[in-house]
Structure 1
Amino acid sequence: MSGAQRPPVVENSGWRWGPFTFRLPFLHTRPHWPEIAQGLLVATATGLALVPILVGYFGMSFEEAIAASLLVSTLIVIALWVFGEPYAPGWTTPALPLVLAFVLPRYDTPDLRFQAMTAMSLSFAVLVFVLGITRAGPRLIAWLPPTLRATILIGSALAAFRQVFVTDAPRFLHQQPMSILLACAICLVVVFSAPLQRLQGRLPWLRHLVALGLLPGFLAAAIVGPLVGEVSYDVQWGWMLPPVGDALAKMSPFAIGWPPLSMYLDVLPLVLLTYVITFGDWVTAEAVIRDAQPARPDDPIRIDARRSHLTLAVRNAAAGLVAPFFTTQGALWAGVHVVVVSRWRQGPQAMRDLHSGLISYFMMGLPVIYFVLPLLTGLQPLLGVALAITLVTTGFACAYIGMGIPRSNAERGSAVLGGVALSLFDPWIALAAALACWWLLVGREQKPATATAGAEEHA
């Protein structure tokens, strides 16, 4: 049923403004402590993965990188309480390896790298806004051949593995080999292991472990690292006031200058690829909610593709002006979304409403972790581990999803060859190579009915 044919959904709380709904924490949403506790732990382990990138490649101090991460996180959480999105927001993580593989070798100064991030954020904001207003996004995705979708995901996987095991190896892996490899191995097993998934039904404690996602691997590295001499803690007590002004002076286009027109043209292929990944996130998030909604007729959820597009456009435009690091303003943190929706479907006794659960997981929209100095200084020697975990698990997820899309040997070969091009070459050359591989080796292909239906449903 199309959006025009569905009866309007009346949500239970919040102030409507245009297509959005403003929900003030503690007034329209109540705190759920299991989600707050999980969010505090998991966000601590993964939300600071941006810091080693900013310190190592963008010329920022540790304190300035914390301030930049604070701005990024604030823009992420406003998707929930300012705009009323029913999806757990996060990074567009599959696109991150492609962005790093493009920006880091091509631009040799922090100013140029931040300008490239600004160009991508603003270009993406314009694209998403236009596709949302015109509702052309679903039609674009429905046209995209499945093999090209697989190519994008496989290219992201290869770029992620290359970043960890080749490009960043001297900086992180060679310095903390045991810690990083152990953490990555545990995270892959906890998140993706089929045998472990089968054991969850018989071992309730295992379900709680799996629900922690990346945290067990991170904690293992935190314990083993000091024992093998790879990690040394220097915990400082007190509060940190992140130097937001200093961070803005190093990354905002108002301070370092605006990207030239040629830069906008250079990044356009990456912007298009990121939209394809983002649309897949929206379809996934919507499917998870629609599957659980019959169990919660008391809490109707309004799904609106136009609102989702406009929200993402505003967040990326704002990021491009104050905290330009492309792919950090994405539509979905899939693991968190599934965990929260799973508890929501258990009924009002488990979670009053979905928005309360989501906002609780994001600590009621208050990113307090960026002010707690003992937490930040304790995590500082483990940030390389956090970055490696993020990229390796992202690469693995992209690989198994991407390899599951092709249905013939020609499609699989084309997807891998095009993925190699995306991970190694400049975006325009890589996109041309991927299109050539698909056209010459596969040609016209029949799209799966589910993919077409998903795009039409999202419209």
Structure 2
Amino acid sequence: MMDNDQAVELPGWRWGPFTFRLPFYHTKLYWPEFLQGVALASATGLALVPIMTGHFGLTFEQAVAMSLVHMFLIAIAPIAFGEPYAPGWVTPALPLVLTFVLGGYDTPVERFQAMTALTLVLTAMLAVLGITGLGKRFMEWLPNALKAAIILGAAIAAFKRVFVDDVDDYLLAQPISITLACAVCLIFMFSIPFRSLKLRSPMLTRLASLGLLPGFLVAAAVGPLVGEVSYDIQWGILLPPVNEAFAKASPFVIGWPSWDMFVAAVPLSLITYILLFGDLVTGNEIIHQAEDDRRDDPINIDTSRTHLSLGIRNGLMGILAPFFPTQGSLWTGVQVIIVQRWREGRAGMNSLYSGTASYYFMGLPFIFFLLPLLTGLQPLLGIALCLTLLLTGFACAYVAMAMCTHPTERGVVLLTAVAIAVFPAWIALLLGLVATLVLIGGSDAEAMEEKVAAEEAKLRQKA
């Protein structure tokens, strides 16, 4: 391995604080990452199409065109900005956003304007908090109970969206397919007994590393057998009508959000920023854990640069194809998969940037032009959406529950989480902050409990 003093970051073309690395020139193509990018994008990249066609007035083709814009902006993060992360949606915020937009606004125009308002408020937050460095200080100040409540609130909102709000459209329409898909994914991703089986079977390990895809493929195979899925595959090339989607969604055409929309968007944008910052912490930790094995490929982690790149991507999305929160910092499962192969050595992957480039820019955009794949996926998109929401809810729930150990803290977390899932975001945040201060007294319930116990002990001794 190259000596650490001689190791240099993979070269590229610098522009401002960013580094552009041209695919095939600066970065190599790796077929395992390329094929996984194509396959997993098929299962998840179009999951929002049913929402766009059902609640935002778009045709299937127009929704595909919007998804193309979203995925292109995601794909350029490691290419144009030099980010070391595998980017994705801020998925835990998605159910909260759908509740806010679909529950608060009635027409497609208003709903797209609300999406624009959310996106531009977040863009402003990213710019200010990133440039000034206040983002890190804010996260350090935020009480632990409130962080856990936001994550658990996202879980409750996700379950509510699947089992209550949209139950007739998805779960009751395809009950067997969705149940099987969710069961397979939950077992592969979270089952403790299954982890034991993976240790003895490399094939199961590789299968489980594909994330949502195995469950999705099970549903795709079983759905036609039980009469819940009917395929109408068409051949040819689709040119997604980006101009039509732009005409129906962009504020340049439909008008800009009102000031009331911008004000209403602030609390939910703040919640999304907290979730996004948590993803950044996770992504950095995944890289740090593998760095000792790849001293020959130094990775430049710069939180301020990441804030700026996220702000640019969100700003472009907000004015071109607004659908919040599709421009996040991390797709955790993909990050783990790429980093795991990267840490095995230069023979398997010359640079982490080549791995992310192969997965995203060289893989994702292709599916949006292949009509057989798109029409084959169309009857399965409701399944993909339910999978995304349910697995997000499950993961958020166990993360939030592990963050708190004190009984009072758990009660505050549950109270605030339910409020976040049910009430407007600003009311929920205010309730959570008041409950944290009144019932816990600060950010550390255990420390406050020990302080009170010590005071009680002193009083007993005096008595």
So what's the TM-score if we normalise by structure 1? 0.94
Q: Is the 8 A contact 1:123 1:271 kept in 2?
A: yes
**Structure 2 partner of 1:4:** none
In structure 2, the gaps of 5 or more residues are: 448-463
1:408-427 matches, within 5 Å, as 408-427=406-425
Structure 2 residue aligned with 1:74, among 72, 83, 90? 72
> What amino acid is the match of 1:206?
L
1:315-334 matches, within 5 Å, as 315-334=313-332
Q: Is the 8 A contact 1:91 1:329 kept in 2?
A: yes
**Structure 1 partner of 2:390:** 392
**Structure 2 partner of 1:455:** none
Count the aligned residue pairs: 443
1:46-445 matches, within 5 Å, as 46-364=44-362, 367-445=365-443
Cα distance in structure 2, aligned partners of 1:426 and 1:131: 24
Cα distance in structure 2, aligned partners of 1:138 and 1:365: 33
Q: Is the 8 A contact 1:125 1:314 kept in 2?
A: yes
Q: Is the 8 A contact 1:77 1:365 kept in 2?
A: no
TM-fit CA distance, 1:448: 10
TM-fit CA distance, 1:347: 0.1
**Structure 1 partner of 2:453:** none
Superposed CA deviations along residues 57-99 of structure 1, whole A, max 9, x for unmatched, are 1010000000000000011111110000000000000011111
Cα distance in structure 1, aligned partners of 2:377 and 2:50: 11
Cα distance in structure 2, aligned partners of 1:288 and 1:174: 38
SS in 2 for 1:200: helix
SS in 2 for 1:188: helix
Distance 1:8 1:396, change over 3 A: farther
Cα distance in structure 2, aligned partners of 1:229 and 1:416: 40
Cα distance in structure 1, aligned partners of 2:147 and 2:248: 36
Superposed CA deviations along residues 132-169 of structure 1, whole A, max 9, x for unmatched, are 11011000000011100000001000000000111111
Identity of aligned residues (%): 57
User: 327-336 vs 178-187, which deviates more?
Assistant: 178-187
SS in 2 for 1:72: helix
**Structure 2 partner of 1:35:** 33
Cα distance in structure 2, aligned partners of 1:197 and 1:436: 41
Cα distance in structure 2, aligned partners of 1:412 and 1:446: 12
Q: Is the 8 A contact 1:81 1:365 kept in 2?
A: no
> What amino acid is the match of 2:273?
Y
Cα distance in structure 1, aligned partners of 2:196 and 2:285: 23
Cα distance in structure 2, aligned partners of 1:370 and 1:229: 27
Cα distance in structure 2, aligned partners of 1:224 and 1:13: 47
Cα distance in structure 1, aligned partners of 2:443 and 2:328: 30
Q: Is the 8 A contact 1:40 1:363 kept in 2?
A: no
SS in 2 for 1:170: coil
SS in 2 for 1:21: strand
Superposed CA deviations along residues 325-367 of structure 1, whole A, max 9, x for unmatched, are 1110000000000100000000011111100001111142660
RMSD, aligned CA: 1.5
TM-fit CA distance, 1:195: 1.6
Cα distance in structure 1, aligned partners of 2:232 and 2:199: 41
Which of structures 1 and 2 has the bigger CA Rg? 2
Cα distance in structure 2, aligned partners of 1:426 and 1:374: 42
TM-fit CA distance, 1:437: 2.2
> What amino acid is the match of 1:357?
G
Q: Is the 8 A contact 2:41 2:364 kept in 1?
A: no
Q: Is the 8 A contact 2:142 2:443 kept in 1?
A: no
Cα distance in structure 2, aligned partners of 1:278 and 1:202: 36
